[in-house]
């Protein structure tokens, strides 16, 4: 049976370049980068190369890149550091109502334990986010605004650049953080253009390995170490660095950078083809907007619970999810925020593409949904 993997927003298959870089570091350049001998120097050079590649992709300085274990760690560092360094007097944080759990739960912690007021901005009646609604939530008491660039469940694009630029113009003291996990290597992510002080990135979403991420930190922005015990990463993250994973992250970025536009257009064609196929199915609704990211699509298949249909498709070799992988099937509230009813939210499938997908994958999914509607609903 052929397999059709359409869950790339959860994780991607490591690309050949990333695997080659990791194996080189596992087998050859395996020294500790803090060691002063030649093997340590070789490992440090692997890290320097990866840092240089990421800095080039982001249009920033190498010293503005901090390697972490994942985007969740990056986000925790950015938000909690901002709260500690800038939140003694200013206690308001503005965010969107559809953020990843790493943002939501960190902000909940700050509210419950450190007295921060969290203002969560919702989309308008059409499911669109407007910059003016974020700006209306800002005041002199605001220390931070944190927004994702692309929603990981629906593909909605949030107006990060417009909001951050206007926020900095009106309140220059406000710190800005962007979760760019589902945007990096799909859209240009340039922190200077976005007016972002922090940007969170993940390796395994862009064909590198799990266990590595990065945090862009604008030069001059205060950051407090969360891990103590060593001087690694400029003293900001103690612990021996995972050189193989970092090298693989850099290799994946280097491999993907030249093809960003062509990959985007190809994935867009897959997205459009699936939309056309689904329009033929009775009652099926697409929650994701046509002008959203083509890499992510949320589908509502009425009267079929997500978990049941997901496992039905799995038996046919088609792999999708029922929402954010981090929620492990639990409702995140994001579909309802974008206009789905509670009943519809229980019937959502998330399809997420990469350039390795084919029209055969689209056909297999469309056929699987069609047969699922016939067979499951008539049992």
For 90, residues 6+ apart whose C-beta sits below 8 A from its C-beta are: 140, 141, 142, 143, 173
C-alpha span between 295 and 303 (Å, rounded): 26
Q: Please pick, among 60, 70, 326, 354, the residue that the annotation labels catalytic.
A: 326
Q: Scan for tokens 């009106």, then name that residue.
A: 170
C-alpha span between 303 and 237 (Å, rounded): 48
The answer to whether residues 219 and 25 touch, using CB atoms and an 8 Å cutoff, is no
**Which residue intervals of 326-358 are DSSP H helices?**
334-337, 342-345
C-alpha span between 241 and 294 (Å, rounded): 34
What's the angle, vertex CA 60, arms to CA 80 and CA 57, rounded to 5? 105
Q: Is 354 a catalytic residue?
A: no
Q: Is 359 helix (H, G, I), strand (E, B) or coil?
A: helix
Residue numbers annotated as active site: 326
């Amino acid at each position: 049976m052929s397999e059709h993997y359409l869950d790339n927003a959860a994780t991607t298959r490591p690309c050949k370049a990333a695997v080659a870089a990791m194996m080189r570091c596992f087998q050859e350049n395996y020294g500790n980068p803090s060691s002063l001998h030649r093997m340590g120097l070789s490992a440090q050079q692997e890290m320097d190369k990866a840092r240089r590649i990421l800095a080039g992709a982001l249009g920033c300085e190498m010293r503005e890149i901090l390697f972490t274990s994942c985007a969740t760690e990056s986000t925790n560092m950015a938000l909690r550091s901002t709260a500690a360094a800038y939140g003694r007097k200013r206690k308001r944080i503005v965010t969107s109502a559809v953020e990843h759990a790493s943002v939501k739960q960190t902000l909940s912690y700050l509210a419950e334990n450190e007295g921060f007021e969290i203002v969560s901005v919702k989309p308008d009646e059409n499911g669109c986010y407007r910059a003016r609604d974020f700006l209306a939530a800002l005041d002199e008491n605001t220390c931070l605004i944190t927004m994702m660039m692309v929603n990981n469940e629906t593909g909605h694009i949030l107006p990060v650049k417009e909001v951050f630029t206007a926020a900095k113009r009106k309140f220059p003291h406000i710190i800005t953080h962007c979760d760019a996990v589902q945007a990096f290597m799909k859209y240009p992510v340039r922190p200077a253009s976005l007016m972002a002080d922090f940007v969170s990135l993940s390796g395994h979403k862009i064909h590198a390995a799990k266990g590595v991420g990065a945090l862009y930190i604008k030069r001059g922005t205060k950051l407090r170490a969360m891990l103590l015990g060593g001087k690694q990463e400029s003293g900001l993250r103690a612990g021996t660095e995972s050189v193989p994973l970092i090298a693989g992250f850099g290799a994946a970025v280097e491999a993907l950078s030249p093809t960003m536009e062509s990959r985007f257009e190809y994935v867009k064609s897959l997205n459009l083809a699936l939309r056309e196929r689904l329009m033929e199915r009775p009652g099926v609704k697409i929650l994701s907007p046509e002008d959203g990211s083509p890499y992510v699509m949320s589908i509502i298949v009425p009267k079929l619970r997500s978990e049941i249909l997901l496992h039905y498709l799995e038996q046919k070799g088609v792999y999708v999810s029922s929402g954010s992988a981090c929620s492990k099937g639990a409702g995140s509230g994001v579909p309802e925020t974008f206009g789905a009813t509670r009943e519809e939210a229980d019937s959502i499938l998330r399809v997420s593409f990469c350039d390795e997908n084919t029209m055969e994958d689209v056909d297999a999914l469309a056929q699987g949904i069609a047969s699922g509607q016939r067979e499951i609903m008539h049992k």
